[in-house]
A = this chain, B = another copy of it.
Amino acid sequence: MKKIFSLTRLLLIALCAFFALNMSAQEQKTYPTQAPMQPAMSEYWIPQPKIVTPGTATQNAFLSAPSDAIVLFDGKDLLEWESSKGGPAQWTVHDGVFTVNKKAGDIQTKRKFENYQLHIEWMIPTNISGKSQGRGNSGVFMQGMYEIQILDNYENETYVNGQAGSVYKQSPPLANAMRKPGEWNVYDIIYSAPVFKEDGTYRIPPTVTVIQNGVLLQNHTTILGTTEYIGFPKVKKHDAGPIVLQSHGDPSEPISFRNIWIREL
């Protein structure tokens, strides 16, 4: 790179900086920014929730959708889903289930929802490897904003506010009710959307109840804001949003989903 170019670039940067500062001086004072955090600052490991072995359930006799539900996946296709980056949802449908495709990124429902009862089943593959968060990591997001963690916590410990059924990095589950890899786990979720004030803060925060395999994990838990990997939850105004399923991109084998339906409340 030539010197003359570098100088031009320097001038350009200076100009941009000048306008940016000038604008911010007109618009608002400069305030200290919140000091940056590290992920491990919002992770705590004790007390680990009690391990509860869920009741038996016939793995092939699952609860099908009530008559007023919108069926989001019935074993055949991903027509109700799209890529979160746009375009079709390119996860793999096979044998009545679909499986995360790491290369395709997150997928989300085409429809947007506010208040609902959601049923979703997921399975960790038997050949899973890794540990802590690096073992069967996915997640289901309410309104595209608030993650209920999906993870293989069967004989695999992690920070408790990042465990399966946690409101991620906020609220640990009341129990560890995992079925082992190769068996289907069921989430029954009751979600109430937030109501916002005009200034973008919550008048009424979102709440969530989560039942895994018949065991209560979240009991009308208040969600404090977005479920951030780093730092505190954030409160951002939003409208109805999709159900998002996370492609976490871990090196080990991907997890699968089946029997997804939603009832609007």
Which residues of A are interface residues toward B (Cβ below 8 A)? 28, 31-38, 40-48, 50, 52-58, 61, 63-68, 115, 117, 119, 157, 159, 174-175, 177, 188, 190, 192, 195, 197, 199, 203-204, 207, 209, 211, 213-216, 219-220, 222, 224, 231-232, 263, 265
Contacts and interface: CB of A to CB of B under 8 A. Distances in A.
Q: Which of A65, A204, A214 has the most CB of B within 10 A?
A: A214
B34 A44 contact: yes
A66 B263 contact: no
Given A61-B61, A66-B215, A195-B204, 13 more contacts: A31-B48, A32-B43, A32-B159, A34-B43, A37-B41, A52-B68, A53-B66, A56-B64, A58-B61, A174-B265, A190-B209, A222-B222, A224-B224
B61 A57 contact: yes
- The quantity of this chain's copies bound in the complex is 4
B53 A67 contact: yes
Contacts of A177: 66
B64 A50 contact: no
B61 A55 contact: no
Contacts of A197: 115, 265
A231 to B, nearest CB: 7
Contact of A67 (B38, B52, B115, B192): B52
